[in-house]
Amino acid sequence: MRYAMAIDTKKCVGCSDCVVACQTENDVPIGYCRDWVVEVMDGTYPQLEMEIRSERCNHCENSPCVRCCPTGASHYNEGGIVLVEENKCIGCSACITSCPYDARFVHPEGYVDKCTFCLHRVKKGMQPACVAVCPTKCMYFGDLDDPRSEVSMILKKRKWKTLIPEAGTKPHLYFLI
Amino acid sequence: MREEIIVSGRNNPLIDPQLHIWHWEIPLYLFLGGLAAGVLFFAALYTIRGRENDYPTAVKIAPFVAPIALTLGLIALFLDLHHKLYFWRLYTTIKFDSPMSWGAWTLMLVTPLSMLWCALHIKEIFPKWDWKFDIIKDVLAFFEKNKIVLAWIMLISSAVLGIYTGILFSAFNARPLWNTSILGPLFLASGLSAGSAITIWLSKNHAEKKRFAQLDLMIIGVELFLIIHMFMGFLASTQVQIEAANLFLGGAYTAPFWIFVVILGMIVPAILEILELRKFKIPVVIPVVLVLFGSLMLRFIIAYAGQASRWLY
Amino acid sequence: MIFFTESSIRPKYENEYHMNSRRQFLKISSLSAAGLIFGGGLLDAFANNLVKTNPSHFKGPFDFTRTPTYCEVCFWKCAGWVYKDENGRIKKIIGNNDDPNCNGRFCPRGTGGVGMYNDEDRLKTPLIRTEERGKQTFREASWDEAFDYIAKKLSKVKEEYGPESLALFSHGSGGKYFGKVLKAMGSNNIAAPSYAQCRGPREVAFIATYGQGINSPENTDIRDTKCLVLIGSHLGENMHNGQVQEMSDAIDKGATIITVDPRFSTVASKSKFWLPIKPSTDMALLLTWMNVIINEELYDKKYVQKYCYGFKQLKEHVQQYTPEWAYGVTTLKPQQIRETARAMANAAPAVIVHPGRHVTWYGDDTQRLRAVAILNALLGSWGRRGGYYNPEKASVPHYEIPKFPKPNKTWREALGGKYNLADLALASGLCDASMPTHELGHKIKAWIVNGTNLINTLPNQANTLKAIQELDLIAVVDTMPMEITGYADVVLPECTYLERYDSLRVSQGREPSIALRMPAVEPKYNTKPAYWMARELAKKLDLLDYFPFENLEDEIDWELQQVGTSLEEMQRIGVKRIKREYDDLYFAKDEDIEFNTNTGKIELYSTSLADEGFEPMPVFVQHPEPQEGFYRLIYGRAPMHTFSRTANNPNLTDLMDENTLWVNPKVAKEWDLKNNQEVYLENQDGIISDFAIKVRVTERIRFDSVYMVHGFGHTDKRMKRCFGKGISDTQLISNVMTDPIMGGTGMRGNFVTFRFDNKKEA
């Protein structure tokens, strides 16, 4: 079972609903965020192009953060989701430095925090909070190993890309382009 | 024009606008660790080669710096942790993929080792020292008999200590500036250089001073060689690496690096030591302090600049 | 929870009733000892005790953790569920799956609604303006005192000037209840800024053309459209939930989007055609499109023949508007204009030329929206799938109350009998009627302001402030210490929508639906729902007959029983969808339809406009352009904010806490501006912005304009998160171009230049 998320950049309008929903669902303190929205614009007026992406931890298959964690707090959990066990984390921040996507941050309580793909919801058969709230329905989540899951089907249908594939992390966050 | 911006107002403390999560604690520890490694390495090396009496400072006196440096370094590391109460978790597991885990356990080995080594030579500093308890005297006698074995262990573990700090950084390929395998040997060399400098400073034996000055010159030569090749490597590599190298070739860290680390920390002391060897009288403290300063600045600048180098945005 | 007894412990302040000096803007809240309790941590402890929902709110078996509501952060009113944790604190708000307005997904502002409740800068207790040692300040008052004050003043004003001098400005649910009070007193001066400052022109234009306005939510069938033409709409940045959701569906289905915008908006980046039009020339483009569609015979001939009146006149009228002519005016290439016209016609009738929402731009807005309406008619999209559907609203009977007295004079007479075609009252008009120099009709002397920050809403701030100084009474009802509260005589703190019942939401749509709002938690601090306030006020004015129910939930229950459900059921389901009464979502094939116009047909040539002496068909008018060194000030929305309403919301300021000024790189080079540099702006009338704004150098804006998001630049220090952040575009909108047809206030005719300090020349 390999959980992955696909985000359709053609439909995303950059409203940042995913950011607020994640904040209220996961009690992320104000001033911190587990996911964020990036706008990339190219060109000269009026020949312009724009891509909008909602980014978060990529839950990489070959994640540098799990590899470098000295206590095992960063670990692979169900479906390949990368989680941080608060009680094992010492706050050394090696994982933060090792993440090429800058997806992690230090929670005010001292441990390292990041997107968890809302595993607590996924276990109950629900979708992550960001996917469930997105008004443009541009986010898909599911099991890559299941050929009939939403995410597998959409990746077969559309062109996609991942961020910095050359970093070798094998991310599970796909952007439909 | 290309505009790449985060529109959802991400401003995670210590992460945005630029990663700055490791402050003075880490570079300070790396310096102290490297220094201790250098000192212990030479102590072990010359013990094994039976030259204890030729280089008495290196083998018996200089190692006293090590436990102090290591303890201070450990305190600095502890202060850096954000979840301090859980620090003991480091010692509940060993992760071979994590250089930090390696470091934690190596420190766990080297610190008591260095204290043991100092205990064996305590009479050099405090001639009237008495251990009072017999059990301590027996244990020390045991180690004194097996000193060569102890020296071998210390040789290897101090080398690991010296090199792992560089490997720690180079394992983080997310920071393009650190993503070079030259960093490990460079830090080891810098640590050995610092160790020799301390020995030169503390030594009262002219032959020893000369020997270590020669060693230090060689090591500085090696460091300069490594630095040049590090930059050659970056500039011939991918775009992010070129950008990382540019931090030192016109970017924000150019002046501090070349002036403090290379010129003041390596070239000037080298010249001074050459002059010393040519029988000019140079107060020994100058090149020593410059070498130590350069070693410390190397760690600081690499640590800070590394956090500024990135893949995205 | 009343902390002050009926016999207030405060001495009477005589100068409250005889304020000779002008109203000073009270920036700093003055707190007495009791105020410290309300403002400080002590009340937080109280608030915790109050947080567990009062079980008496629930009529049936209840689920403590989840209560239904509909959102009040914007005016889409999406219905959703409020979730609480085991301590009874609000945790999150999500959408109700049965609600056609949101389909179970809230927008970022709705999701961030928790911040409205948690905001510690909220108004906490009633305040009355008083004068202490020559300085004006607010003192805390009891509710009884506040209502006494207002009631006495209202009665006095009514006696002296007549009930037609009372006015209500409202942009929130509470308007209904205060409106009843005013109507019962004999006034019909009830206005929302969303009319003359926002969508008014399109209502009048569509009523003149189709006999029917658009209202809200818009009846655009976006999810089935094949071509969506957005001229003056930035869907995606303007986060009208249902519309953005449907646009996403349309994109999935491969619909063509044509965006006309001088700025590369979010939706422009998703459009097949982006027409970077020169600002203020949209009318030219619309008329030219008509020219192409008529001359190339791309219009829906059967539809036009059957349903439209005035085609011959229209055809003759648009001959002068050729694409080649339009090129010179709009800078859009003729080929582009023809291509897009053909694309629209190709998709017809599943094409929508979107009417936009905030359309008060240049003073000829009603005519421009007439052009939009006509274009839709030519394409045959009105009443067709993928175009405009026929919305239906549930009819929920109201409990019978005594008839309201007929007003002696209406708001129209206050404005000299102008604007006969406006179907709702004009907020700006009532403001104008309060000015000292007003001569067109009778003057307005007392304002009740509910949930709208008029200082930032009405353009020409200087005007608004002058009007306020003349009033005998201004009472403000709000949740946050917005700028308007700084000018009030009495401030009544309302609790947020999460803490109260409100009337049922009965909104129009493909399917009628009703939604319930019930409190998730008890009101924080000393705040109260608007219904209770209006009723208490009515008590003082002896108008209790108009408020037969003491508790609003009883009235809601009565209403629900009339339509076959009950409060208990609605508390469980939140939203009830009701079957359409008539199966007339779209026109049936060859159906005979009578439109509610003079001729009974869709009027391409408008007889009602001609009768009033206005152009029966839209005409292109050139609008003033910026002089050298000045740039047109364009403003818009951000999806994470609702104008200034959310500017202090902790969750939403986390996303965006200030606006930036979009400047073209060529302009930036000329002025030597760098990214994130702070500049001040000065407009054509010499008004300089209070604060500075950060520059964003971007290719996405034309070289003759600058753009910023509306709703920032707050001057009230009591709002700690948004005070001084960014610039208020309203401050720089001093040139108002009034629409002669319905009084809409065109705001896009203002030009600004850069300054590096805000010192006024002596």
Residue C324 one-letter amino acid: E
The enclosing domain of C360 has a CATH number of 3.40.228.10
**pLDDT interval class at C16 (50, 70, 90):** very low
- Please tell me the distance from the alpha carbon of residue B170 to that of residue B233, in angstroms, as a whole number: 14
Please tell me which residue of chain A has the smallest CA distance to C332: A46
**pLDDT interval class at C61 (50, 70, 90):** low
CA distances from C651 to C45, C248, C655 (A): 22, 25, 7
Please say if the pLDDT value at position A124 is more than 70.
Answer: yes
Q: What is the mean pLDDT of residues B143-153?
A: 91
Strand A173-176 versus strand A3-8 pairing type: parallel
Residues 6+ apart with CB under 8 A from C723: C714, C715, C716, C717
pLDDT of C761 reads 67
The enclosing domain of C662 has a CATH number of 2.40.40.20
ipTM score: 0.94
Please say if the pLDDT value at position B311 is more than 60.
Answer: yes
Domain count, chain C: 3
* Interface residue C713 vs chain A (CB under 8 A): no
Find which of B49-53, C52-56, C74-78 is predicted with most confidence, using mean pLDDT.
C74-78
- Domain identity same for C230 and C366: yes
CB–CB contact C264 A48 (8 Å): yes
A:17-36 residues touching chain C, CB 8 A cutoff: 17, 19-21, 23-25, 27, 30-31, 33
pLDDT of C28 reads 43
pLDDT of B243 reads 92
Least confident range from B27-36, C155-164, C415-424: namely: C415-424
Half-sphere exposure of C423 toward its Cβ, with a 13 Å CA cutoff? 16
Q: What is the mean pLDDT of residues C738-755?
A: 94
- Domain identity same for C349 and C295: yes
Encoding tokens for residue C417? Answer: 């009998």
**Backbone phi, then psi, for C306, in 5-degree steps?**
-80, -40
- Please tell me the distance from the alpha carbon of residue B178 to that of residue B30, in angstroms, as a whole number: 15
| Higher pLDDT among residues B207 and C225, named by residue | C225
- Domain identity same for C365 and C317: yes
- Please tell me the distance from the alpha carbon of residue A9 to that of residue A175, in angstroms, as a whole number: 6
B:244-273 residues touching chain A, CB 8 A cutoff: none
Least confident range from C21-25, C199-203, C707-711: namely: C21-25
Question: Considering only CB atoms, which chain C residues are within 8 Å of A24?
Answer: 91-93, 111-112, 114, 651
Question: Helices marked H in C647-746 — which ranges?
Answer: 650-653, 665-671, 729-732
CB–CB contact B8 C665 (8 Å): no
CB–CB contact B14 A105 (8 Å): yes
Within a domain: residue C509? no
- Domain identity same for C224 and C168: no
CB–CB contact C111 A21 (8 Å): yes
Among C264, C654, C694, C725, which would you mutate to test the B interface (most chain B Cβ atoms within 10 Å of its Cβ)? Answer: C654
Question: Considering only CB atoms, which chain C residues are within 8 Å of A43?
Answer: 699
CB–CB contact C699 B8 (8 Å): no
Residue linked to tokens 């001084």: C724
Please say if the pLDDT value at position B47 is more than 60.
Answer: yes
What would you measure as the largest C-alpha separation in chain A, in angstroms?
A: 53
What letter does residue C55 receive in the DSSP assignment?
Answer: G
**pLDDT interval class at C116 (50, 70, 90):** very high
Q: Strand, coil or helix: what is C167?
A: strand
Question: Considering only CB atoms, which chain B residues are within 8 Å of C654?
Answer: 9
CB–CB contact B9 C665 (8 Å): no
CB–CB contact B12 A105 (8 Å): yes
pLDDT of C21 reads 52
| A31, A36, A164: residue with CB nearest B8 | A36
CB–CB contact A138 C93 (8 Å): no
Residue C736 one-letter amino acid: V
Among B2, B4, B8, B16, which would you mutate to test the C interface (most chain C Cβ atoms within 10 Å of its Cβ)? Answer: B8
B:271-310 residues touching chain A, CB 8 A cutoff: 306-307, 310
Instruction: List residues in chain B touching C: CB distance below 8 A.
Output: 1, 3, 7-9
Within a domain: residue C669? yes
Chains contacting C (3 or more CB pairs within 8 Å): A, B
* Interface residue A157 vs chain C (CB under 8 A): no
Please tell me which residue of chain C has the smallest CA distance to A129: C94
Please say if the pLDDT value at position C18 is more than 50.
Answer: no
**pLDDT interval class at C27 (50, 70, 90):** low
Question: Considering only CB atoms, which chain A residues are within 8 Å of B103?
Answer: 70
Question: Considering only CB atoms, which chain A residues are within 8 Å of B81?
Answer: 90-92
CB–CB contact C698 B8 (8 Å): no
- Domain identity same for C251 and C275: yes
**What burial class does residue C686 get, using C-beta atoms within 10 Å of its C-beta: 0-12 exposed, 13-18 middle, 19+ buried?**
exposed
Which has the closest alpha carbon to B242: B311, B170, B165, B184?
B311
CA distances from A94 to A105, B75, B88, B169, C385 (A): 11, 17, 16, 9, 57
Task: For residue B87, count other CB atoms closer than 10 A to its CB.
Answer: 17
Residues B98/B156, Cβ–Cβ less than 8 Å: no
Within a domain: residue C519? no
Question: Considering only CB atoms, which chain C residues are within 8 Å of B16?
Answer: none
Which DSSP string corresponds to C259-296? EE-SB--TTGGG-SEEE-PPTT-HHHHHHHHHHHHHHT
In total, the C-beta contacts within 8 angstroms joining chain A to chain C are 120
The last residue of one of the domains, among C371, C389, C407, is C389
The enclosing domain of C418 has a CATH number of 3.40.50.740
Half-sphere exposure of C25 toward its Cβ, with a 13 Å CA cutoff? 12
Residues 6+ apart with CB under 8 A from C202: C213, C214, C355, C356, C357, C359, C365, C369, C372
| A70, A112, A166: residue with CB nearest B101 | A70
* Interface residue A47 vs chain C (CB under 8 A): no
Within a domain: residue C626? no
Q: What is the mean pLDDT of residues C238-250?
A: 94
- Domain identity same for C239 and C325: yes
**pLDDT interval class at C15 (50, 70, 90):** very low
> Which residues face C678 on adjacent strands?
C694
Supply the range of the domain harboring residue C748: 631-755
- Domain identity same for C380 and C403: no
Question: Considering only CB atoms, which chain C residues are within 8 Å of B7?
Answer: 656
Residues C718/C482, Cβ–Cβ less than 8 Å: no
Please tell me which residue of chain A has the smallest CA distance to C94: A133
Q: Nearest CA of chain C to the CA of B85: how many Å?
A: 28
Q: Nearest CA of chain B to the CA of C654: how many Å?
A: 6
Q: Nearest CA of chain A to the CA of C245: how many Å?
A: 5
Question: Considering only CB atoms, which chain B residues are within 8 Å of A28?
Answer: none
**Domains contained in chain A, CATH given:** 3-176 (3.30.70.20)
- Domain identity same for C480 and C542: yes
Scored b (16 or more CB within 10 A) or e, C633-666 reads bbbbbbbbbbbbbbbbbbbbbbbbbbbbbbbbbe
Q: What percent of chain C has pLDDT over 70?
A: 92
* Interface residue C695 vs chain B (CB under 8 A): no
**Backbone phi, then psi, for C662, in 5-degree steps?**
-80, 125
Half-sphere exposure of A56 toward its Cβ, with a 13 Å CA cutoff? 31
CA distances from C728 to A92, C123, C360, C724 (A): 44, 22, 18, 9
Please say if the pLDDT value at position C40 is more than 50.
Answer: no
- Please tell me the distance from the alpha carbon of residue A163 to that of residue A58, in angstroms, as a whole number: 9
Residues B44/B152, Cβ–Cβ less than 8 Å: yes
Q: What is the mean pLDDT of residues C628-641?
A: 95
Question: Considering only CB atoms, which chain A residues are within 8 Å of C267?
Answer: 13
| A41, A43, A135: residue with CB nearest C244 | A135
Q: What percent of chain C has pLDDT over 90?
A: 79
In total, the C-beta contacts within 8 angstroms joining chain B to chain C are 14
* Interface residue A109 vs chain C (CB under 8 A): no
The last residue of one of the domains, among C389, C412, C440, is C389
- Domain identity same for C266 and C348: yes
- Domain identity same for C399 and C367: no
pLDDT of C758 reads 79
Within a domain: residue C602? no
Encoding tokens for residue B50? Answer: 């039976």
| C239, C269, C650: residue with CB nearest A30 | C650
**Domains contained in chain B, CATH given:** 25-308 (1.20.1630.10)
Q: What is the mean pLDDT of chain C?
A: 90
C:613-642 residues touching chain A, CB 8 A cutoff: 639-640
CB–CB contact C665 B1 (8 Å): yes
Please tell me which residue of chain B has the smallest CA distance to A109: B83
Q: What is the mean pLDDT of chain A?
A: 95
- Could you read off the pLDDT of B109-128 as tens digits, one per residue? 999 999 999 988 888 888 88
Please say if the pLDDT value at position C41 is more than 80.
Answer: no
Which has the closest alpha carbon to A94: C534, B174, C149?
B174
| A19, A68, A104: residue with CB nearest B8 | A19
CB–CB contact C112 A20 (8 Å): yes
| A11, A24, A50: residue with CB nearest C114 | A24
CB–CB contact A91 B14 (8 Å): no
Please tell me which residue of chain A has the smallest CA distance to B86: A90
Q: What is the mean pLDDT of residues C155-167?
A: 94
- Domain identity same for C240 and C360: yes
Within a domain: residue C21? no
Within a domain: residue C363? yes
Which has the closest alpha carbon to C65: C49, C81, C83, C50?
C83
CB–CB contact A110 B100 (8 Å): no
Among A10, A16, A40, which would you mutate to test the C interface (most chain C Cβ atoms within 10 Å of its Cβ)? Answer: A16
Please say if the pLDDT value at position C225 is more than 70.
Answer: yes
Within a domain: residue C570? no
Question: Considering only CB atoms, which chain A residues are within 8 Å of B13?
Answer: 31-32, 105-106
- Domain identity same for C334 and C401: no
Q: What is the mean pLDDT of residues C551-564?
A: 94
Please say if the pLDDT value at position C39 is more than 50.
Answer: no
Please say if the pLDDT value at position C331 is more than 90.
Answer: yes
- Please tell me the distance from the alpha carbon of residue B155 to that of residue B63, in angstroms, as a whole number: 13
The last residue of one of the domains, among C374, C389, C404, is C389
**pLDDT interval class at C133 (50, 70, 90):** low
